[in-house]
Amino acid sequence: MKQSLFESRHQADWQAFAAQLEALERGKADVAQCTGFAAAYRRLCQQLALAQARGYSNHLVEQLQQLALRGHQQFYRHRSPLGAQLLGFLLGGFPRLVRAEWRCVLAASLLFFGSLLGMGLLVYLFPELVYSLMDPEQVSSMEQMYDPDARRLGRFSERDSGDDWLMFGFYIMNNIGIAFQTFASGLLLGLGSLFFLLFNGLMIGAVAGHLTQIGYGQTFWSFVIGHGAFELTAIALAGAAGLKLGWALLAPGRLPRGEALRLAAARSVRLVGGVILLLVLAAFVEAYWSSMTLASASVKYGVGAGLWLLVLAYLTLAGRGQHAPD
């Protein structure tokens, strides 16, 4: 892109940002003037990086550097406390980011949930197929974990029944490990994320199909429906974050691959931050609610359906009407 076109396209944004800076520096900025300042500052920094990478004139680069320096000073001077930033991200920033990255989210969800449902149906119809993914010892362990006569569901042994807090920690570490693996492997041109989305979908589907086929369906489904709303959604979103990294490497557009990856990583890491929250919630529900045998299956189905609706409503509705994340 020629410098003249670049300047004409963004000149109005720079002037608006300079006006915001002047109001902040004089201490006369109102709420309306501060709205979107952080996003405008990030955009300016990206435009400065583009101007430097494309070799635009020193005059333009220095002008943008001055605006960026003044913006940096005001941003950190007026920056909200960490708690307020976190709350803002959870209440609006994260779901807006998920919606902004809907293409990656849709691709990851189709692959993960599609393979899960497809393998579950195949194993239900052809029971021996489960042994193509799991050895007999693993299948036996799964049957033990979801035996209707077990005092605590989803545990490898009765010895674990009273250790809910230990299981809570185990679930957090295990789930975050799976999510990080799915996300970070996106650096392999997205192939790693595709593999782990498919692998996890096939494995979960095989377990679901097998347990349903042998008559443990009510035990299994009443166990997973609650925490699954958080856990399965988180895995799909971690995959979406990894696919975004891979796509930045495969199709960087007019940017150098390093710059495209840096910009994609900034958004992907924020996605993973929300994923970790979902996984912590999933671990809590799994340890203290899903494994209980006191509640009836119908109650668990009702609670699970409510949690799925809550997650879907949160991701599709929360933060609407506010400024979208950059």
Where do the structural domains in the chain lie, given as residue ranges?
A: 3-79, 90-317
Give mean pLDDT, residues 261-288. 92
Tell me the range of 28-42, 132-146, 239-253 where mean pLDDT is highest: 239-253
Q: Is 286 exposed, middle or buried (0-12, 13-18, 19+ CB in 10 A)?
A: buried
Asked if pLDDT for residue 232 goes beyond 60, the answer is: yes
Q: What is the pLDDT of residues 119-147, one digit of tens each?
A: 999 999 999 999 999 999 999 988 888 88
Alpha-carbon distance of 326 to 277, in angstroms, equals 21
pTM of the model: 0.73
With cut-offs at 50, 70 and 90, classify the pLDDT of residue 42: confident
Residue 200 has pLDDT above 90, yes or no: yes
215: region left, alpha or beta (phi > 0 left; psi from -120 to 50 alpha): left
Query: Strand, helix or coil at 319?
Result: coil
**Amino acid code (one letter) for 312:** L
Answer yes or no: is pLDDT of 161 > 50.
Answer: no
pLDDT value of position 36: 72
Give the pLDDT confidence score for residue 76 in this predicted structure. Answer: 67
CA–CA dist 149, 320 (Å, integer) = 46
Arithmetic mean of pLDDT, 274-285: 93
Share of the chain above pLDDT 70, in %: 88
* pLDDT of the residue at 326: 43
Token pair for residue 267? 């958004």
How far is residue 252's CA from residue 256's CA, in Å, rounded to a whole number?
Answer: 7
Q: What mean pLDDT do residues 186-209 have?
A: 95
DSSP assignment of 260-295: HHHHHHHHHHHHHHHHHHHHHHHHHHIIIIIT-SSS
> Mean of the per-residue pLDDT values for the chain?
87
The single residue listed with the structure tokens 């989803």 is: 154
Q: Phi-psi region for residue 2, left (φ > 0), alpha (ψ -120 to 50) or beta?
A: beta
Residue 23 has pLDDT above 60, yes or no: yes
pLDDT band at 291 (very low <50, low <70, confident <90, very high): confident
pLDDT band for position 324 (cuts 50, 70, 90): very low
| pLDDT band with cut points at 50, 70 and 90 for residue 325 | very low
**d(C-alpha 205, C-alpha 114), whole Å:** 9
What pLDDT was estimated at residue 282?
A: 93
In terms of residues, how long is the chain? 326
Higher local confidence (pLDDT), 290 or 285: 285
Q: How far apart are CA 102 and CA 193, in angstroms?
A: 16
Q: What is the mean pLDDT of residues 95-114?
A: 96
% of the chain beyond a pLDDT of 90: 51
34 alpha-carbon distance from chain centroid:
28
- Distance of alpha carbon 232 from alpha carbon 253, whole angstroms: 32
DSSP annotation of 14: H
pLDDT of residue 81: 60
